[in-house]
Amino acid sequence: MSLMTTPAPWCRAVVTGGAGFLGSHLCERLLDSGVEVDCVDNLLSGSEGNIAHLEGRPGFRFVRCDVSSDAVIGHLPGPYDLVLHFAWPRSPADCLRHPLETMDVGSLDTRNALALAHRDGARFLLASTSEVYGDPLVHPQREDY
């Protein structure tokens, strides 16, 4: 399925971490492709400024909510075709500042995002990091590393 080139007004996506660096660009690109987007973020490391230009666009909705909370499911009635899970306090500084939230995001957040996808039969995408492979031997890492 080509998300980026095919207008898909029938498609509804939820982007967790949607007010972050990657999530906000993804929300914009999806909207440009005709996808309805629910952007979910607790603004732990993101900013409303990242999505200010999207407010008021048809099909865009910002839901300020912690994805680690069970309540998130109730805030997101859907149904969704895509669950795109980008919530994460990405920078090492943010992880150190928020150690408990960082643990939650890797477990509870992912479980809740998966529960959403399971509820609606949606496709699920998790943004991970090359850090999971340990200290890299080359910088910058290529896609085939």
Ligand X SMILES: NC(=O)c1ccc[n+]([C@@H]2O[C@H](COP(=O)([O-])OP(=O)(O)OC[C@H]3O[C@@H](n4cnc5c(N)ncnc54)[C@H](O)[C@@H]3O)[C@@H](O)[C@H]2O)c1
Nearest alpha carbon to residue 26 among 73, 84, 79:
84
Q: Does 60 bind ligand X (CB under 6 A)?
A: no
Show the site string, 84-123: x = touches ligand X by CB under 6 A, - = not. --xxxxx--------------x---x--------------
The CA–CA distances, whole Å, from 6 to 29, 62, 78 equal 11, 23, 21
| Residue entry with tokens 């039969």 | 121
| CA–CA separation, 51 and 24 (whole Å) | 6
Query: Nearer Cβ to ligand X, position 17 or 33?
Result: 17
Interface with ligand X, residue 12, by CB under 6 A: no
Are the C-beta atoms of residues 22 and 127 closer than 8 Å to each other? yes
Distance CA 105, CA 44 (A): 11
Q: Applying CB under 6 A, does 62 fall inside the site for ligand X?
A: no
User: Interface with ligand X by CB under 6 A: which range of 20-28, 73-81, 112-120, 135-143?
Assistant: 20-28
**Nearer to ligand X (CB atom), residue 5 or residue 129:** 129
List interacting residues with ligand X (CB under 6 A): 16-17, 19-23, 40-46, 66-68, 86-90, 105, 109, 127, 129
